[in-house]
Structure 1
């Protein structure tokens, strides 16, 4: 009982300390402790002010950009046009901001002391941007020393609508780490809600996993958004720079990391604009791989009408991806029980495609003629031809195909019996 009573005593003391600190904050909201902030005058020159809470402080830096600011290939104010188009779009999508105001979107990125999601990984910078009607505001919440996390999370959670965060890999990286650190101070700051639904990493992976060697934000910036960073600090150096800042807390020590984070959140705005345009204008995408990927994504989220139009557009091009688009379109027709249209595509792939397409299309033709058109002879003809194409591929691969071989033989034997029965 003695250890439990000791724990309760410490808890009650902590709550009393919090209440006293809160009352003190209410009485002296802005002036208190300014002299306790190292280099406060220099911080103010950088647009940074201390935020006091529970007897400690964090730093909040604010930067303003005009709507016509060009970041890579996009003017960031174009988010307003993208927002309007999402409201009018004929389809829904996980990236759609329909029902939200432009200013509801918080483009969010963090800097941490490491990649681990463990309790010891401190998040020392929480940055976010909002696009308003006349400007773009970036706010960065900086942890001046490890003991100030209560003030850091209080400032962040009271400033951000965290249900509409837009991140890059935030669901797997930023948010779990934020939850871990928040758990240590959750009795003293607002509750952390479930994560919002705009993670641009998964969108980038959908569209460019076959196009880019790496899906790191820096690579997407360079190859997709045409953003070139000059004199930028690499993200992996941020923890070391922060450690040096803790030793000598001069603003100039940490400002390179703040500028790096600032560029990150601006890139999130540009990337959201680009991804939205790719979906809203999927019919006009020039890159056949991206167009096919966009169509697959639309189909995956249940927007088959929108996907169909993009597949039809992609299948009309004289590129190798056109056959993949035809195949996806045929499967969509099959699910909609539009067998005549599906069969026309399968015949085209069977007659003009590679051995792989001949195998896949021939098998689908065999299934369609056996089960839908009830024509065993035609089903057997396509199955036999598809089997021969499959055998040539199996020999070339030099891998064990015993199970598939058995399936092919069972199909052919069944169709032979059906064909002979009808012949009698």
Structure 2
């Protein structure tokens, strides 16, 4: 008998059962320690029978965090809107309320799917207040309400973070992938990452540019009874297991200070870039001018360097070197020559020798090609070569100078033979 016939004979013995609908329980989860959470202005948000927690704190614009009042941030945005200069941190075209100061807390510092975000925190100006919200993941299954509450109630144009381009937002995108069918899409936005600005501005004075160090050394922010960031994952795992919010409240405060410091940091950077900070050091003025120059904002660079005290000799020499490069590029050669000559006449043993070598080289080029004074060009080249050798500069640079010297010697001999 074929298999087909055997199956047909067995049909009559198969018991037919009507599929029963799956019973979905709709009971609400009990939220542990809800009374404690409510005392801290934390309330639940429900979605798909799961919940997250949301904490909200409000500050008046008259509140001072570190060296700045929050209303000074609004003034900085207004100043950017009046500024003619282009800069990556410019808020031109934005209102104060458009900037969205964002920070996360995660279970690890590495990227990838194994790293979970358990706090999505942000602050923005709403009316006459800074409104700070933190969306909290109370247990692993709460990611849908976490992201849904975050994305459906957020209205922003430009993200402001500290290393958020490399860490925070990529991590948001990774975790969003797991719940994207149930929550709104991630929006497009502009992004001010203040970490790179802090490195540029203060690497000369800070060994590391962690936000906590920048707070203490630059912004005047003093943390009291703060939980170190590296303890946050352990405290969170303990909270997930025991549900007691005591440790989590400390992490929320840590995250809150991080976010408020982003407002202060953006304000401070803006005041320096807009030349409103009267207490800038010569090195800070130099870095601001260098930054503008690298962006092609030559007028902004010049105006920045005008604020530099001439007693800061080394910074003044570096500023003139930057301006000389600008003038050369703008085909204002006489102005560039004047600046290079100033460096040659005023450099000291403390001066960056590589800069002096490049200055001699630039003058040698002009003297050779424009003035046709080969002997003087050779003298300048020899001085550059001597400095390069005595300070162990790049071998490539020394070799190029040697080639230049040999070429000039040949030209001088040719002239002597013609005479």
Whether TM exceeds 0.5 here: the answer is yes
Q: Deviations over 1:77-115 (max 9, x none)?
A: 211111111110121211111111211111111111011
Shift of 1:332: 1.2
Q: Deviations over 1:243-292 (max 9, x none)?
A: 11112223333111111111111111111110100100178553111111
Q: Does 1:326 align with 2:320?
A: yes
Match of 1:109 in 2: 103
Q: Does 1:207 align with 2:205?
A: no
Match of 2:260 in 1: 266
Higher helix share: 1
Q: 1:277 aligns with which of 252, 271, 274?
A: 271
Q: Does 1:222 align with 2:223?
A: no
Q: Say whether the 8 Å CA contact 1:315–1:323 is kept in structure 2.
A: no
Match of 1:407 in 2: 400
Relative to structure 1, is the Cα distance of residues 285 and 335 closer, same or farther in structure 2, using a 3 angstrom cutoff? farther
Three-state SS of the structure 2 residue aligned to 1:324 is helix
5 Å matches for 1:183-202?
Answer: 183-194=177-188, 196-202=190-196
Match of 2:236 in 1: 242
Q: Say whether the 8 Å CA contact 1:166–1:200 is kept in structure 2.
A: yes
* Structure 2 length-normalised TM: 0.87
Three-state SS of the structure 2 residue aligned to 1:137 is strand
Match of 2:151 in 1: 157
Shift of 1:194: 4.6
Q: Does 1:417 align with 2:415?
A: no
Of 185-194 and 217-226, the range deviating more from structure 2 = 185-194
Match of 1:360 in 2: 358
Q: Does 1:125 align with 2:146?
A: no
Q: Say whether the 8 Å CA contact 2:47–2:145 is kept in structure 1.
A: yes
Structure 1: which 5+ runs fail to align? 1-16, 25-31
Shift of 1:190: 1.7
Of 72-81 and 281-290, the range deviating more from structure 2 = 281-290
Q: Deviations over 1:107-136 (max 9, x none)?
A: 111111011102111100011011233111
Aligned length: 391
Q: Say whether the 8 Å CA contact 2:98–2:157 is kept in structure 1.
A: no
CA distance in 2, matches of 1:309, 1:301: 14
CA distance in 1, matches of 2:93, 2:250: 37
Three-state SS of the structure 1 residue aligned to 2:133 is strand
Aligned-residue Cα RMSD (Å) equals 2.3
Q: Does 1:167 align with 2:161?
A: yes
Three-state SS of the structure 2 residue aligned to 1:165 is strand
Shift of 1:170: 0.5
Structure 2: which 5+ runs fail to align? 1-21
Give 1 or 2 for the bigger CA radius of gyration. Answer: 2
CA distance in 1, matches of 2:52, 2:415: 83
Match of 2:36 in 1: 42
CA distance in 2, matches of 1:254, 1:415: 72
Q: Deviations over 1:331-368 (max 9, x none)?
A: 11111111111112222222332472542221110111
Relative to structure 1, is the Cα distance of residues 257 and 283 closer, same or farther in structure 2, using a 3 angstrom cutoff? closer
CA distance in 2, matches of 1:232, 1:101: 32
CA distance in 1, matches of 2:281, 2:310: 13
Match of 1:75 in 2: 69
Q: Say whether the 8 Å CA contact 2:272–2:280 is kept in structure 1.
A: no
5 Å matches for 1:350-389?
Answer: 350-354=344-348, 356=353, 357-389=355-387
Match of 1:6 in 2: none
